[in-house]
Amino acid sequence: YSTAQINNTIKPATSWNPNQVLNIWVMQLQGGLLGFAQFPNSGAANTDGVVIGHLYFGNNPSANPFHLGRTTTHEVGHYLGLRHIWGDQNCGNDFVADTPTQQTSSSGCPNHPRPTCGNTGDNFQNYMDYTNDACMFMFTNGQKAVMQNVMATANRRSTLNAASATLCAAAPLTANFTASATTITAGQTVTFTNTSGGPNPITSNSWNFDVTSQGGVAPSTSSVASPGAVTYNNAGTYTVSLLVGDGTSTDSEVKNGYITVLPAGSVVCNDITNYSGTASLLGSGGTGAFGWISGHNNYDDRAKVDKFPAPAPGLFVSSVELQFAKKHAGTPGSTISVNVWNANGTGGTPGTLLGSQTVSINSLNLYPTPTQVTFASPIAVTGAYYVGIVFSANTGNSSQDSVALITNADGETNPGTAWERWSDNSWHAYSETPASWGLNMSHAITVKLCNNAITSVDEAKQELPISIYPNPAKDIVNVVFPSLENNEISVYNVLGEVVYQNNRSTSNQVSINLSNQPNGVYFIKVKSGNQLITKKLMLTK
């Protein structure tokens, strides 16, 4: 980010009350800048504080020689009124009596003494010089006096000592969990993951996998944090609950109709995604409503992918849904590939290519309409795997292809699951530092895992590329069709009752209002021509 972007956009949008806190922003900075600060009694309140390059905050051995956190010390010195020790000019004045007059800034680790400007030796060990982190270790008494005076008298500094507002209360104990699949067939298993958390360690867990006592669930309860596989033997809809405690408080999570069990032999598909939260976009240049372009950029990245955990045995990737914010086809025939890899590459990176589908860039939908890509044959996955897009190997020019794949914001997926392949064909996680972005995020990619292996292209084409969003929904759900044919739409509840029907939709998108329906699981059945598909919908208000 440039200083203009930071001061004009980022700081005003994210600043906390500068009368109560010292704001510190940590981010990627342009031009090799290590950091910068706002001096006392200068600048606007919503830009007050210090900015530190993300590689130079805290202890980061890979950022040597600026790896020990001295950048923050230096910039906070400016925030508290200290100038550079050489006064920012030849033999200048820093207005501190006990710092020797110094000709200019220092670098590296000079040998002592190093006299300049008639002194007996520069104070290059001072935090307000530019030496390596390992060689700076002091403020003088005069500098301490300046900072103490600023803390006592300066605007937005003198109030800090007395500030008592609690700006960051500890997050309360919160129970939550996820499931490896929410729709299965009778006799299959579900693995539940405990995602509860709080300010104190969780000491008790109480699971109920069959709250309504329908039977056929083994085990039906558990008291361990990670209960392992749970078998559902009977068809039906099951409510699951979890009660957690930390010795001082408890919290519970109840998910009504969370697990749907279909009769044995039914075809079952589940949507898997790492993405949740705020639509964002990662990149290194350009502008737009979603931020900056990812994909082919000035780094000539070759691929953007997400890593997914190993699925239950016997599942296949049948299709992928992606959210794009921008697209540019260098030529009318420009394409990208949507690929699936296993994770047997070096260090667990994408390895063997398991399947691929070529897609025209011009055919991609833009957010909020997703792009669905169905593979000619379902792809068997037996361990951790990667799914993403691969760009053609053209080089930087005005007709270069570019695609912007949406991500969520930093920290909303932690640890991050997003990866990229550079122009040298090496793979890097977005979370790497300092090589990559140092960000924890995921791409807006949804994988459809099904329990049937369709083996012919003709059979594969029977699955309509239909998108449903949002899912889960609160009241309005949108159904997007691939064509303008007469599309018949019906929505059923778990009792098989029709709660919505539209027999002749000639639009390629229909909005369905389910605001008068209770929370729970629903099934949207779509017929287009001689093709039929059923999709699961969760209604949560």
Assign residue 496 the CATH number of its domain: 2.60.40.3080
- Rounded CA gap, 40 and 52, in Å? 18
- Same domain, yes or no, for 26 and 85? yes
- Same domain, yes or no, for 280 and 358? yes
- Same domain, yes or no, for 395 and 296? yes
Point out the catalytic residue in the list 75, 321, 420, 463.
Answer: 75
Give the distance, in angstroms, between the CA of residue 29 and the centroid of all CA atoms in the same chain. 20
Nearest Cα to Cα of residue 24 among 77, 75, 95: 75
Tell me, what CATH number does 318's domain have? 2.60.120
Q: Tell me the backbone φ, ψ of residue 67, rounded to 5 degrees.
A: -115, 5
Question: Of 266, 298, 331, which residue is a domain's last?
Answer: 266
Number of domains within the chain: 4
Say what the pTM is. 0.51
- Same domain, yes or no, for 145 and 221? no
Check residue 285 and give its pLDDT.
38
User: Quick check: 536 and 521 in contact, CB under 8 A?
Assistant: yes
Which domain range does residue 131 map to?
3-153
412 is a catalytic site residue: no
Q: Please report whether residue 512 resides in a domain.
A: yes
From first CA to last CA, the distance across the chain in angstroms is 39
- Same domain, yes or no, for 437 and 534? no
- Same domain, yes or no, for 335 and 468? no
Check residue 435 and give its pLDDT.
66
- Same domain, yes or no, for 253 and 147? no
Q: Please report whether residue 163 resides in a domain.
A: no
Which stretches of the chain drop beneath a pLDDT of 50?
283-294, 395-399, 454-463
Q: In what order do the strands lie in the sheet with 467-469?
A: 467-469, 476-480, 509-513
Q: Please report whether residue 165 resides in a domain.
A: no
Question: Of 421, 450, 479, which residue is a domain's last?
Answer: 450
- Same domain, yes or no, for 253 and 114? no
Tell me, what CATH number does 223's domain have? 2.60.40.10
Q: Please report whether residue 172 resides in a domain.
A: no
- Same domain, yes or no, for 428 and 338? yes
- Same domain, yes or no, for 304 and 439? yes
The token pair that represents 221 in the structure block: 């309860």
Q: Please report whether residue 472 resides in a domain.
A: yes
Q: Please report whether residue 148 resides in a domain.
A: yes
Q: Please report whether residue 401 resides in a domain.
A: yes
- Number of Cβ atoms within 10 Å of the Cβ of 312: 16
Q: Which amino acid is at 419?
A: W
- Specify the DSSP class assigned to residue 59: B
- Same domain, yes or no, for 211 and 311? no
- Same domain, yes or no, for 427 and 485? no
Q: Please report whether residue 160 resides in a domain.
A: no
- Rounded CA gap, 21 and 461, in Å? 59
Tell me, what CATH number does 52's domain have? 3.40.390.10
Give pLDDT tens digits for 308-345.
Answer: 999 878 889 999 999 998 888 878 888 889 999 999 99
Exposure string over 210-225, b if 16+ CB within 10 A, otherwise e: beeebebbeebebeee
Question: Of 212, 238, 266, which residue is a domain's last?
Answer: 266
